[in-house]
A = this chain, B = another copy of it.
Amino acid sequence: MSRAHVVVALDVGGTGMKCALVRPDGSTLHTERHPTDAGRGPDAVVDTILEVAEGLAGKARADGLDPVALGIAVPGVVDSARGVAVWSANAGFRDVPLRDLAVARLGLPTALGHDVRVGGLAEARLGAGRGTGHVLFVAIGTGIAAAHVVAGSAAVGAHGAAGELGHILVRPDGPRCGCGRPGCLEAVSSAAAIARRYAELAGASASAAEVAQRAADGEPTADRVWREAIEGLADGLASAQALFDVERVVIGGGLAQAGPLLFEPLRAALRERMTFHREPALAAAALGDEAGCLGAALLALDAIDLDNWRH
């Protein structure tokens, strides 16, 4: 690929879209942000996605670049093979054939991916997992989701639903999860769960980041809530390690911003749980909120390489 080639990449979230022009080597030439306004319904969101993508392709051409592919990351359940956004509570998608719609509108080879899986792809290949063959990328924010990346490829599952680390059982007697089951990891250790638990025990509201800081400052309730969350997370990661046997666990999402307040006790709690397993290295995500965009671009580049985008 010549240096003038570029990939149009979009990472569509419930509130905003991160967009970029990305070179084949993974470097970013240009970024844009647009509101998603998911409340307008899926048709309007799809229109905006295609418009923004078209605008970026146009900008690339105006800058003397050659847009060769389009990569789109969306949340929820995503069938990458068919290019369909199967389901997303945040974006309102129900069986939207986003890849075909994009190909029809832009005429570019298009790949559709899951936001966390492509984020994991980017972290594994360009970020904190670089040089590592087996990576588990874990995004912890309102929810918890993961991507298992082996040899630069993220596991998708039979129905586009692999990597739901937030919904493995860690506390059978624990709080009920949004999914309806009790004791899911997400109900114990997500940023939202930490804030909820603190409000419950302290009778005052605080974000997960504030709880982490208050715990460090010696506030007993915050300390208890933070420790419970980390114990739960260590249990979840130990179960995942028993199944996946990775070299490195890369943690991203809002909770990773807590830095050493998270990583130091988590590393100790995880080590305590390693019996026969090999302890994975624990690293903070390196690409920040660009990971989704970069991963969407990588997915699109892979699709061109493999020539499997034609359908």
Contacts and interface: CB of A to CB of B under 8 A. Distances in A.
A172 B182 CA distance: 14
Contacts of A133: 158
Interface string A167-180: 11111100000011
A4 interface: no
Contacts of A235: 169, 172
Max chain B Cβ within 10 angstroms of own Cβ: one of A156, A273, A275 = A275
A266 to B, nearest CB: 16
A306 to B, nearest CB: 14
A181 interface: yes
Q: Which of A166, A243, A275, A276 has the most CB of B within 10 A?
A: A243
Copies in the complex: 2
A245 B276 contact: no
A162 interface: yes
Contacts of A276: 77, 161, 164, 167, 179
Interface in A133-180: 133-134, 146, 148, 150, 155-172, 179-180
Contact of A162 (B158, B238, B244, B273): B244
Given A168-B239, A168-B242, A243-B243, A158 B179 contact: no
B158 A278 contact: yes
A206 to B, nearest CB: 26
Given A170-B169, A172-B171, A273-B181, A245 B278 contact: no
Given A158-B247, A164-B242, A246-B157, A275 B179 contact: yes
Contacts of A77: 276
A261 interface: no
B150 A155 contact: yes
Counting from the closest, the 9 A-B pairs by CB-CB distance are A157-B245, A168-B239, A134-B158, A164-B242, A179-B275, A162-B245, A167-B242, A161-B245, A158-B247
29 contacts: A133-B158, A134-B158, A146-B243, A148-B243, A150-B155, A157-B245, A157-B246, A158-B246, A158-B278, A159-B247, A160-B245, A162-B244, A163-B243, A164-B243, A164-B277, A165-B243, A167-B239, A167-B276, A167-B277, A168-B239, A169-B169, A169-B170, A169-B235, A169-B239, A172-B172, A172-B235, A180-B275, A181-B273, A243-B243
